[in-house]
Structure 1
Amino acid sequence: MRAAFSDALVSAAQANPKILLLTGDHGYALFDAFRRACPNQYINCGVAEQNMVGVAAGLARAGFRPVVYGLAAFVPVRVLEQIKIDICYEDLPVMLIGDGAGFVYSHLGASHQSMEDVAVTRPLPGLTILSPADRYEMAATMRLAFDTRGPVYLRMGKSDRGDVHGASLTLAPGKALKVRERNRKIVLIATGSMVHAAVNLVDAGMQADVWSVPSIKPLDTSALRDIGAGAQDIFVLEEHVVVGGLGSCVAESLTDLGTGTPRVHRIGVEDRFSAYCGTYEYLLSEHRLDTPTIRKRIEGILSSSGGVAA
């Protein structure tokens, strides 16, 4: 997925010399191809993320199209005020890339694990939030981001869980993508790395439809109405805190649609920090987001409510 990001960025910058890449002293190997192809469009702003966002805002006001890259724990979390005032208030066309979202920087502890980035950016007016699941969604979200006139935050999990789609695709703002179709009464809605987990559950026999949400904001409520039509239970899977993430988006949107909506169950990171450092797989297990535990959680909920998933 990171290779797809690099390819899309290089291609866009070669086609448009106004595209500038700003990094906070990160991503050297990732940007080797960019520096070779577009050396004059690369700016290392150093370990000064707040200043980097201000620089990006000034460049955008001067007619450039800045792409700001950092770890998700720092971009957007550390620089939230600068994003709000310097970029969103002015509705500037700045693309923010938060790499390593979720538990990927597992050994570095809570300072580098980013579980709240969607929750803190969702309220910012005019900010589009994208969260691709594989290389095909990455290419599609990059195209959508460059076609968007205002600010964009793209959440990129550094772990590559493999493809969930079989070919390139086109993404419309707010639209979800159907990945598997097994049972409309049980629906798994996921974003980022958790789409792969949802696909694994269904491919292992769980009877449920799977939808991927690469566009968290905007989120098309009419599309959610169609997904929820006839469903009894919707499970939202995300490598993010359950407060304010995709699960909250889905629950709020379906509530706004009125009566007759399905039950929504949020499966994500609970209201706590990681107890220990360790491997990425270990932290998924600690937070009950590994695939076997997700299956048990879903089956337990359905058993208590009389539903059947397998």
Structure 2
Amino acid sequence: MNMRQGFAKTVLELLAEDERLMVLLCDIGVWGFRQGFADHPGRVLNIGILEQATMGVAAGLSATGLIPVVHSIAPFIVERAFEQLKIDFCYQRLGGNFVSVGASHDYAALGCTHHCPGDVGALKNLPGMEIVLPGCAGEFAVLFRQAYANGNPTYFRLSETGNSAPQPVEFGRMLALRKGREATVVALGPMLEPALAACEGLDVTLLYATTVAPFDAQTLAANCPSGKVLLCEPCFGGVLAPDVLRALFPRPVVVDFAGQDTEFSRNYGKAREHDAALGLDAAGLRQRLARLIHAH
């Protein structure tokens, strides 16, 4: 089951469990929620390609005590409706759930209009916004159930590719999957499996993060004996660098990050091909990690 299928399954289950839940689709995911339209009339709505207006509708629902779930493609839900997320939800301190697909270059063949590597960095600038990057469908189910009704605006970033098996994730917490002395690798969501392969045979710590905001500074501070950190980010690189520096202050720290450069992707191809070209596969991460270990 991919993440989009897992998203629909989880939310359909919650529609039957929690009468406060409302689903607003922006003309995608309609087929996946076909049973929801039938079983819960008036609680699953296809608003259409109107992301900014949909955010306003969602904020109004939230203000009445309902729990909205808005679903669209990442550049439209984040970049097109950024002001509505900022003012309608974060400034008003309203709760809501914003579930995207197609972030970074998952929809590589559709060109720049459907690329969105800047979503995580943009949303980290919104006070109060929570950001979640599950690594697979099973992790999404756990994380969504833990956070969907917490009263905060929360962004869930679904990926077309994911890890083959779920980890015992918890909202707001990192997992220490292995411990070593020469460097600490922080892998976000779907970056876990290439990071695991890159760390093979090396004396390094590997932390797995599915919650970007709030950032788990405590776990990082307790698992970074070297002061060297490699961030593996499936978005523009360096998004978590300020969090790392704050978590480890006042210790001297060396931080490198494997992520997409802040440039437009002008080539076509599949997401995995883009990852390899950007050095986000196991070989590319291994090369960065070796360089970091030997840095002075």
TM-score by length of 1: 0.88
Q: Of 263, 276, 280, which aligns to 1:272? A: 263
Distance in 2 between residues matched to 1:260 and 1:115, nearest whole Å: 30
TM-superposed CA distance for 1:260, in Å, is 2.3
Match of 2:222 in 1: 226
The structure 1 segments of at least 4 consecutive aligned residues displaced by more than 6 Å after TM superposition are none
Match of 1:308 in 2: none
Q: Of 99, 102, 121, which aligns to 1:100? A: 102
Aligned length: 294
Letter in 2 for 1:171: E
Letter in 2 for 1:119: G
Q: SS of the residue aligned with 2:45?
A: strand
Match of 2:174 in 1: 176
Match of 1:249 in 2: 243
Q: How does 1:25-40 map to 2 (within 5 A)?
A: 25-40=27-42
Match of 1:189 in 2: 186
Aligned-CA RMSD value: 1.9
Letter in 1 for 2:254: R
Q: How does 1:86-97 map to 2 (within 5 A)?
A: 86-97=88-99
TM-superposed CA distance for 1:152, in Å, is 1.0
Letter in 2 for 1:197: P
Q: How does 1:65-214 map to 2 (within 5 A)?
A: 65-165=67-167, 169=168, 171-173=170-172, 175-178=173-176, 180-202=177-199, 204-214=200-210
Letter in 1 for 2:229: I
TM-superposed CA distance for 1:298, in Å, is 1.9
User: Any stretches of 5+ residues in structure 1 without a counterpart?
Assistant: 306-310
Q: Of 268, 277, 288, which aligns to 2:279? A: 288
1:211 to 1:35, Cα distance in 2 relative to 1, 3 A: farther
TM-superposed CA distance for 1:232, in Å, is 3.8
User: Any stretches of 5+ residues in structure 2 without a counterpart?
Assistant: none
Match of 2:233 in 1: 238
Distance in 1 between residues matched to 2:249 and 2:244, nearest whole Å: 13
TM-superposed CA distance for 1:46, in Å, is 0.6
Distance in 1 between residues matched to 2:65 and 2:149, nearest whole Å: 15
1:6-38 CA deviation, whole Å, 9 max, x = no partner? Answer: 222112111112211001101133323433443
Contact 2:52 2:80 in 1 (8 A): yes
TM-superposed CA distance for 1:170, in Å, is 5.4
